[in-house]
Structure 1
C-alpha cells in the first residue's frame, strides 16, 4: 500500500516541478523545482506517515526528501539514522530542514551536536554549529561561550561558506543573548569582516554580525519599553 502511495506522491511532485522555480532554487544550490508552499500543502494533506517518509528519503530526490522531513516522526529516528541522513543531505534546504525540523526535536540532538561540531566535513560541522547556536539562545548553561568565541575568531574568516555562515550565526547569537560577551562579539565581527558586504533586501537585517547584534538588541530594548509602558504596569 505504501509503495502505491509513494508512486502517487512522486508523480504529484513531478507535476509540481516548475522550471522557473528550479532556476531560482539552483542559484541557492537546491536541485528541485517545487514551490515550497505547494510542498507544504502536500505534507499537510498527507499528515505524519513515517514509513512513507523513509521511502521518500531513499529516493535521493531533493523535493521528495524535503517532503519526507515534513511528514516524518522526528523521534522515530535513532542516532545512527540521523547521522547518516545528515551526511546524505547535500542540498542546502534539505540540510537546513533536517537540522531544524527533525534533529532539534530528537532526543539525540545534544549527542549529535557534540559529534558534528568538530567533524572534518565542513557541511556536517555546520550542523553542529547550528545546534550549538540553538543552545546559545535557549539553554546556554554548560557551554563555554568564551571558548566558542575563540574558535570563531580563529577560524571563521577562512571557513567554507556553509560552515562560515553557521559560525557567524553563532557569533551573532552570543552577542545578542549574552550582554557580557557582546562587546567582544561585535569586535570579532568588525575585525573579520565576514558578510560585511552581503546583499540585503530593504527591510531585512544584514547578516554582518555587528549590525545584526546591534539591530536585534535594539529591538529587544524597544519591546521591553513598550511592555513597561503598557496600561496596568
Structure 2
C-alpha cells in the first residue's frame, strides 16, 4: 500500500474523532477518540491488508494501530516483530487487541508466552500471563499449574496493576477449569484479597478470584 493510502485512512480516522469518546477512553488510560464500532466498520470495508496494517502500525497513532490489528494477517508476523509490537502498543486497548487478535493466533505464541511471563516490564509480563490464562483454559497439557500458583501466591499481591490483573485472571481460570486445584486457588485469593473491593456493577461478576471462581463453577453446575 502506498503512503497516500495510509494518509487517506488516517484522514478517515481523524474524521471519526469524537471528543466525548476520547474523554471516556482517557479515563481508562487510552488515548483515542474513535468509536470502536465505527472503527470495526472501516476494517470490515477495507478487509485484510497486511501491508497497510504494517504501515498504519508504524504511524504510532492509537486509532491507526487498533485498525492495523484488525487488518493484519497474524501469522505473517515474526517472533521479533510481535515482541517489538507488544512493547510499543502499551495503551490498554491496543495491548488487549494485539494479544487477543494477533499473538494468540501466531505460531510464536507459546515461545513468547514463556519469554514474556518472566519479563521485567509489567506490560510485557501481563501479555505473557494473558497467554498463560488462554493455555490454562484451552490447552493445559504440559503446564505446571502448581508452579503457576506458587508464583501467583508469591508475586501477585505486590505486582503493578496491569500485571496483577493478568495474574489474577490466571488464578481464577485455574480455579474454574481445574477442580483439583480449585481449593488452593480460592485460598490464595482469600488470603491475598486482590481486587476484593473492586467496584462491580449490578449483575456483573466480581474480579475477586474467590467470587469469580465460585460464580462460574456454579453456572456450570458445580463441576
Could you state the TM-score of these two structures normalised by the residue count of structure 2? 0.98
Deviation by residue 1:170-190 (Cα, 9 ceiling, x = unmatched): 000000000000001001101
Query: 8 Å contact 1:56–1:68 — kept in the other structure?
Result: yes
Mapping of 1:23-172 within 5 angstroms?
Answer: 23-172=23-172
Q: Distance in 2 between matches of 1:105 and 1:2?
A: 27
Q: Distance in 2 between matches of 1:74 and 1:4?
A: 24
Query: 8 Å contact 1:21–1:33 — kept in the other structure?
Result: yes
| Structure 2 partner of 1:179 | 179
| Structure 1 partner of 2:9 | 9
The CA RMSD over aligned residues, in Å, is 1.0
Q: Distance in 1 between matches of 2:82 and 2:53?
A: 13
* Cα distance, 1:209 vs structure 2: 0.3
* Cα distance, 1:203 vs structure 2: 1.4
SS in 1 for 2:199: coil
* Cα distance, 1:72 vs structure 2: 0.4
Q: Distance in 1 between matches of 2:204 and 2:12?
A: 34
Query: 161-170 or 195-204, which moves further after superposition?
Result: 195-204
* Cα distance, 1:16 vs structure 2: 0.6
* Cα distance, 1:2 vs structure 2: 2.6
Q: Distance in 2 between matches of 1:73 and 1:124?
A: 21
Q: Distance in 2 between matches of 1:72 and 1:2?
A: 16
SS in 2 for 1:203: coil
List alignment gaps of at least 5 residues for structure 2.
Answer: none
Which protein is bigger by CA-based radius of gyration?
1
**Runs of 4+ off more than 4 Å:** none
Q: Distance in 1 between matches of 2:41 and 2:211?
A: 36
SS in 2 for 1:157: coil
* Cα distance, 1:220 vs structure 2: 1.1
Query: 8 Å contact 1:137–1:177 — kept in the other structure?
Result: yes
Q: Distance in 2 between matches of 1:2 and 1:217?
A: 51
Q: Distance in 2 between matches of 1:51 and 1:183?
A: 49
* Cα distance, 1:32 vs structure 2: 0.4
* Cα distance, 1:3 vs structure 2: 1.8
Q: Distance in 2 between matches of 1:194 and 1:128?
A: 19
SS in 1 for 2:221: helix
Is 1:194 the counterpart of 2:194 in the alignment? yes
Query: 8 Å contact 1:132–1:170 — kept in the other structure?
Result: yes
Could you state the TM-score of these two structures normalised by the residue count of structure 1? 0.94
